[in-house]
Structure 1
């Protein structure tokens, strides 16, 4: 897919060069094309904004091309409002106006404005010909089919989706085929045509095995789980559900709670079985005692053997029961700690939301939209915090009960950081925080993939929480020795004093509920980090001064160098 996408970028670049009246020797224009080809969208936005602002003589065709690239940069960054505003500044005539229309159609589709998207893509379909670069007619027809599907116009949706599949199959476009198969399957599923839908769900799932798109893998696995559930094949459905959870990179609350309940049930059954075995042994001894006098000598020998055997069994059973009791005590302690945090933090968050919603209703009734919007933004922050707390609770419970899957392997640190940071981009943008990933792409560490994500996610979440607007956050590495490397999450936020650092590194769960004004935390996230870092054979340290920012330092082993 990456090579195909690059070919499309090169093709569109060549068309821009051939159609544009701007000289290719223009250094600024050449630099912009270079950023475009390398998919450096932030560089494109900075460069185009600078040229449009400082070059007052820029006009006509040149200005349209700079606006085109700026809008495209916003589009790739998923800042759709800014992209629309920029694209709408480009007036006809323009050599790439059909491309502009296509991107506006994509944005409307992303925003669920299906009527508008359909109107735009129908115009693109009518204007498209073989000379148009950067736009595949198969994608246009696929998007039209999606619009019709959402608008419940199933016959037209089927026509366009089928047509797009034929084109994708002709071009052997595996990634797009996965999405197209899934869309037409949903089309049939909505019409209760399961016999037509299921083969396409299966095709989409099989094709997703050959792509690197985690979203497609997740969606196809989820679709297959739903299909198998409807077909009452619970074994297959469970298999697909587990695969869906794997790609979704999160824990299913109900499944984990069910697993804990099953563990408690298993322990109770094993304990009962021990009691049953002891009763059977006692019955067997009583039967032996009731044997006739003729067999008294043999009975005594057998009884002696039985007593010796069951004495040892009893000792072993008591040890087993003691071990089970200790494990059950750990489970009960874990449960109590979970309930304590849930009853305080989650109840507090839910109660705050309850009160805030009443304020929202009152403000809406009074048409005080601005105040209602501010309250909803605060509610969103509370919900996000509560969700992170719940996620940490489940991960911590799984770790304590030794039910989490753990596999230490070589990991490309740069891409793991990028994957974790991606989910925090809206929050970073909302707080106007500057984030920089300074990890070199070639650096590897020895760790478990999922636990490393949880560690980075919690530390980044804390860095954001304890940073003020326009502060800076960066992640980088530093060699410690030949065996270890330090991952450093540094922020320029409010920092902490030595007493707080000691509490954070202590072996407890709850730290400070109100360490700083408007910044509340249970300390569970850091406790989870410490447990997982220790399980990864690493160490955690803190460098911080009050008012001067914080460095959270995670030391992990390096991979062994062969040869």
Structure 2
């Protein structure tokens, strides 16, 4: 017995399910649309009303316009029940044709049971449920269809074959014994109709049913019948549509593919190869036809749009003859509005392009900053570690010789190196937190003297080691609005820089002043190396780039001053520098005064 692989068994089955949902529904809809009794059944409405336009566009298969005018009709007051039912019916079909089955289902479910075409509603709900893989509900809807209603012609049960759909549902539910009689009934109906195109699908699906049950001999007979019918499909007719060509190619392709699988399982590789080659011919033809179909669809859309524009133009022209002056005025206003809107969007586009260009420039600067930061940080950390390594080597030598005085000096030196590296890493961490907006920030009233004294206390060992005179004369009455932790970081960096760039026996002063209304100035002054005016201006520049150090012999990245500027700005403050080369530097931080009450 032959045993095909499971995914090959259902090649024909699943392809035909897709075809069913696309092809049979087109047939149902086209036949339904041809039944002009709908127009006669509609309530009498004035010419140009929304329901009349809805009906017109529905018959034209213009689904977008149908949805627009049915929506307007439903929003109209005093609609009768019959009109609402027709609107929901039109909308259900339109959504279904626009590949929005869930929306279509909602519209069909709003139709009352007393609707003249309620059987059509049940049928189409069944189709939607089938597409949504709700097979039990599909069977329930189709089983409930009346066989004696006058709508048989509209539903066209023999053509649409609800029994065949029920059979497919049973197959997909693995109820093969229940599926067989329904599929065969559908096949008998199709044979009676002599619909060769659909018979290929029906025979193929019944064959797949038998293969699933390992009744191979019967299955192969049906596969051969499907292939034989596919060979009879004629493409030489001149008036055959592109859509029909696509369907024919599709049927021929799947028929050949199934026969190739059958022959491969029968070990007849010669015939299997012939079927494979034929299959490749049909798939190439199908792909070509799909491309032709897509082009034709685009051309059709353009043609419809052009025709619609022509109709609209003629309507406007007729109105111009009646009210020329008014239309001329409205046209002038419309033109001005159009030009205004065009100018607005053009201006917005230019503005957007400028923003994008600025963002790109900022991004480039940020990338440059990142690269430069990594370069400087890695260099300075390497320098610190190198210095510590060399110092430790000397320390070990002095330890061996028990030179205690030298050991003490080396330990102080190592402590200074470690403190510098720690400060660098601390600044790097705070800078990263600011860039990623992860830093906790809360602006509150702060007593300036206490914060200054607290930060300065940690630097007393360094000040003593470098023999620097330190004074803190900040007024004890000064209160500012600032975030406490970020203010401490600012002070630590400014004091650290003052110590770093000061010579031994120099001085560092911290004091406050009130030269700007609404602000308190906190000034960190040192008697250090100072800087040139060019360097001072670079440090005050708002650029995100790190500035090159003027004194290369002193360890530092320039990151600290960038961090200071960022945190002062976040505290709504101002930053300034006064300095001369060889005469020292004043770092001036201006913070908003706190309201003392």
Say yes or no: TM over 0.5.
Answer: no
Pairwise TM-score range, normalised by the shorter structure: 0.3 to 0.5
Question: Given the two structures, how large is their TM-score scaled by the length of structure 1?
Answer: 0.42
TM, length-normalised to structure 2: 0.40
Specify the structure having the higher radius of gyration (Cα).
2
